[in-house]
Amino acid sequence: MDPTASFRPPCGSLRLRPLAEADAPFAADLHAHALPGGIMPLLGRGGLAAYYRGFARSPRAIAWLAERDAPVGMVVGAADADAHRRWVRRHQLASLALPVAGAVVAHPVRLGRFAKGRLARRLRTSSSQRAPSRGGSAAVLSHVAVSPPARGTGAGAALVEAFTAAARRAGADRVCLVTPRDGGAAAFYDRLGWPRVTETVGWDGRRLVHFELALDPGGDG
């Protein structure tokens, strides 16, 4: 992403800037505390920090940090998810290999269920079953989190707005995301006006809501 980009939301002293590699430990700690579900926290603090350094470095990632006197939130994703995954495989496998191996040893059953669920989902959406492509380019918002003292201040909405604006500048015509229906951020995106597209069942049995926001090519998000 453009390291010179900036975004100043209308939230008082809140300032947003691109996530830097030096911010990865903060992002890892925030993810572990604010987003404890899913697989990523099993990587541990070091693995999560490596994961977030990838978002800071990848040319196809979108990553923002919100701060006042100190960091209070972050959002990450990709303008082109396939290109970002290829970049991760090419440049990050070495830094992620040890945390992944440790997670497999410490949590074999949970990771086995995750792998089985991913395989089943791929089979369900094979080329013979997949709905016709809408065309265009979809950005993917992967994670957004705000520290507890800053919740309710508009920081989360500002981060999402910055992400969608960056996705539009990168050429995406829509932004997609998935979040748990219960106990996740579904209500947050409802309040922001994001349309619900469908619901599915995740690898762990939770109901997942798929959101998709169309981007106005001439707008700000």
E strand map for the chain: 15-18, 61-67, 71-78, 138-146, 174-180, 196-201, 207-214
pLDDT in tens, the chain (221 residues): 443 344 445 455 899 999 999 999 999 999 999 988 776 767 778 888 888 999 999 999 999 999 998 999 999 999 999 999 898 888 876 665 555 555 544 445 444 443 444 434 443 333 333 333 455 689 999 999 999 999 989 999 999 999 999 999 999 999 999 999 887 799 999 999 999 999 988 656 778 899 999 998 766 54
CATH T-level fold of 15-126+134-171: Aminopeptidase (3.40.630)
Sequence-distant (≥ 6) Cβ neighbours of residue 30 within 8 angstroms: 71, 73, 74, 145, 147
pTM of the model: 0.78
